[in-house]
């Protein structure tokens, strides 16, 4: 890696506001970024939230995370040895920074150095065969010896074997819930060990109990932290295939270990091979592809972005690495420049209604939506943020969105 990136650091107050914003109802990573960019900072976004959500169609007040809630999370984090790293801070994992829905804040337990090393994700089925488990172990060990951190999802089976294989060279476990609600039980005893040589991270509130939908959501972080994702044994429909899909969407390498055509535990991996994943039958298969990537410093783009935005114009915005041209030149808490962010003008409900009318259950890219609507894409994005805050937007890969029925308001985060 070519030297340290130029990065900014949030003040304690700013980080507090960031936590409040990301812990508020219907604020996901994409909406967080859009809000901070449009409003000029987290504090201003927090103030704007109730109005925006109402405009988006929410028929009750939006739940904004309170200062007390954040105080409680900070206290629990301190007790658990967990600290918070914000997007754009030097400790933030450079690979993760590149993904569309990079979490604005990650809660970290363990060594922050582990987040800076090049990483490979090794994932697979919970009901692994003995051969699959042994291969995961061998692979993780080899990747660790070659200088890579091994990322996985802490699930029993392949994931835990991968963590174990790379325990002493460094491994990153990504939780689906909060640090104080570790899951699954099989992983709990291992977490202190993982944190000793590597790291355990979570984007969720520290007391968040993980539910079904949190696992696929978490999987985007597993692939997003890594240069490549290797799937070792996966039945069809398995969660590991979601991780592989995220990896492909994130323009990361996807590897699959082959398996017998008669073994249902290999159907998913063989499908991946059929669809163009590279074969991984030994550690060298992965190294041959990622070693050159590592030399080329694949996240140099980000480092340059950060360097260019190194003169902060308005609060914490440079940390998000946004296009300054697309952003209103205001200070946090100041009034917005309507000429630059016209969709933010409460006098233009027409845009929102038009976007709402054009959206449906089929995902469409925001660019296509703007073209069809013949509305400036920034105004479209703002309308999407408003609908999103009302719990009415479902995000798909490739910046695509679909409209959810009014009744289906999502839970947060």
H-run or E-run covering 255: strand 253-256
Rounded Cα distance between 285 and 108, Å, is 31
Which CB sits closer to its own copies, 70 or 158?
158
Which CB sits closer to its own copies, 136 or 370?
136
Which CB sits closer to its own copies, 261 or 361?
261
Residue 3: left (phi > 0), alpha (psi -120 to 50), or beta? left
Using only C-alpha atoms, the chain has a radius of gyration, in whole angstroms, of: 21
Rounded Cα distance between 167 and 334, Å, is 49
Backbone angles phi and psi of 400, in degrees to 5:
-100, 150
Which CB sits closer to its own copies, 67 or 281?
281
Closest distance between its own copies and the C-beta of residue 127, in Å? Answer: 15
Q: What are the residues whose beta carbons fall under 8 Å from the beta carbon of 314, sequence distance 6 or more? A: 40, 41, 327, 329, 330, 331, 332
Closest distance between its own copies and the C-beta of residue 74, in Å? Answer: 46
240 close to 107: Cβ distance less than 8 angstroms = no
Rounded Cα distance between 58 and 50, Å, is 9
Closest distance between its own copies and the C-beta of residue 296, in Å? Answer: 23
Which CB sits closer to its own copies, 238 or 270?
270
Which CB sits closer to its own copies, 93 or 259?
259
Closest distance between its own copies and the C-beta of residue 123, in Å? Answer: 16
Closest distance between its own copies and the C-beta of residue 222, in Å? Answer: 21
**Torsion angle in degrees (nearest 10) through CA of 140, 145, 151, 154:** 50
Which CB sits closer to its own copies, 279 or 307?
279
Q: What are the residues whose beta carbons fall under 8 Å from the beta carbon of 359, sequence distance 6 or more? A: 369, 387, 401, 402, 403
H-run or E-run covering 230: strand 228-232
Instruction: List the helix and strand counts (H, then E) for the chain.
Output: 17, 12
Footprint of its own copies on this chain (CB under 8 A)? 129, 131-132, 134-135, 257-263, 266-267, 269-271, 273-274, 279-282, 285
Which CB sits closer to its own copies, 262 or 325?
262
Q: Please report the sign of the dihedral spanned by the C-alpha atoms of residue 140, residue 144, residue 150, residue 156.
A: positive
Closest distance between its own copies and the C-beta of residue 281, in Å? Answer: 4
Which CB sits closer to its own copies, 248 or 375?
248
Cis peptide bond N-terminal to 184, omega within 30: yes
Here the tokens at position 77 are 């984090």
84 close to 106: Cβ distance less than 8 angstroms = yes
Among 96, 141, 26, CA closest to 321:
96
Closest distance between its own copies and the C-beta of residue 139, in Å? Answer: 8
H-run or E-run covering 121: strand 119-124
Closest distance between its own copies and the C-beta of residue 229, in Å? Answer: 16
412 close to 26: Cβ distance less than 8 angstroms = yes
Which CB sits closer to its own copies, 232 or 352?
232
Closest distance between its own copies and the C-beta of residue 3, in Å? Answer: 36
Strand partners, 86: 105
Closest distance between its own copies and the C-beta of residue 162, in Å? Answer: 14
């Amino acid at each position: 890696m070519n030297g340290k990136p130029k990065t900014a650091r949030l003040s304690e107050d700013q980080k507090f506001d960031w936590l409040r914003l990301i812990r508020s109802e219907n604020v996901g990573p994409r909406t967080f970024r859009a809000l901070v960019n449009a409003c000029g900072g987290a504090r201003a976004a927090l103030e704007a939230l109730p109005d925006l959500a109402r405009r988006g169609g929410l028929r009750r007040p939006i739940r904004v995370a309170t200062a007390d809630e954040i105080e409680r999370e900070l206290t629990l984090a301190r007790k658990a040895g967990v600290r918070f790293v914000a997007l754009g801070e030097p400790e933030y994992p450079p690979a993760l920074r590149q993904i569309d829905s990079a979490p604005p804040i990650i809660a970290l337990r363990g060594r922050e150095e582990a987040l800076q090393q090049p990483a490979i994700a090794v994932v697979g089925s919970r009901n692994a065969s003995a051969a699959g488990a042994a291969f995961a172990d061998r692979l993780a060990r080899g990747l660790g010896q070659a200088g890579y951190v091994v990322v996985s999802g802490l699930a029993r089976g392949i994931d835990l074997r991968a963590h174990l294989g790379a325990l002493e060279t460094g491994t990153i476990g990504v939780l689906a819930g909060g640090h104080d609600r570790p899951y699954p039980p099989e992983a709990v005893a291992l977490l202190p060990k993982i944190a000793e040589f590597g790291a355990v991270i979570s984007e969720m509130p520290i007391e968040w109990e993980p539910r079904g939908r949190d696992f696929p959501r978490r999987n985007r972080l597993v692939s997003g932290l890594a240069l490549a994702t290797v799937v070792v044994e996966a039945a069809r429909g398995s969660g590991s295939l979601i991780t592989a899909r995220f990896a492909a969407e994130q323009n990361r390498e996807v590897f699959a270990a082959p398996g017998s055509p008669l073994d249902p535990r290999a159907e998913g991996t063989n499908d991946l091979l059929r669809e163009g994943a590279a074969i991984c039958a030994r550690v060298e298969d992965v190294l041959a592809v990622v070693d050159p990537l590592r030399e080329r410093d694949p996240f140099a783009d980000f480092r340059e972005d950060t360097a260019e935005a190194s003169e902060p114009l308005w609060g914490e915005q440079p940390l998000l690495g946004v296009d300054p041209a697309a952003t209103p030149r205001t200070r946090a808490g100041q009034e917005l420049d309507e000429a630059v962010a016209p969709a933010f003008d409460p006098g233009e409900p027409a845009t929102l209604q038009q976007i709402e009318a054009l959206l449906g259950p089929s995902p469409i890219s925001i660019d296509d939506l703007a073209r069809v609507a013949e509305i400036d894409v920034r105004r479209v994005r703002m309308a999407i943020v408003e609908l999103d805050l009302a719990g009415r937007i479902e995000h798909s890969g490739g910046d695509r969105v679909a409209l959810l029925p009014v009744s289906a308001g999502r839970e947060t985060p």
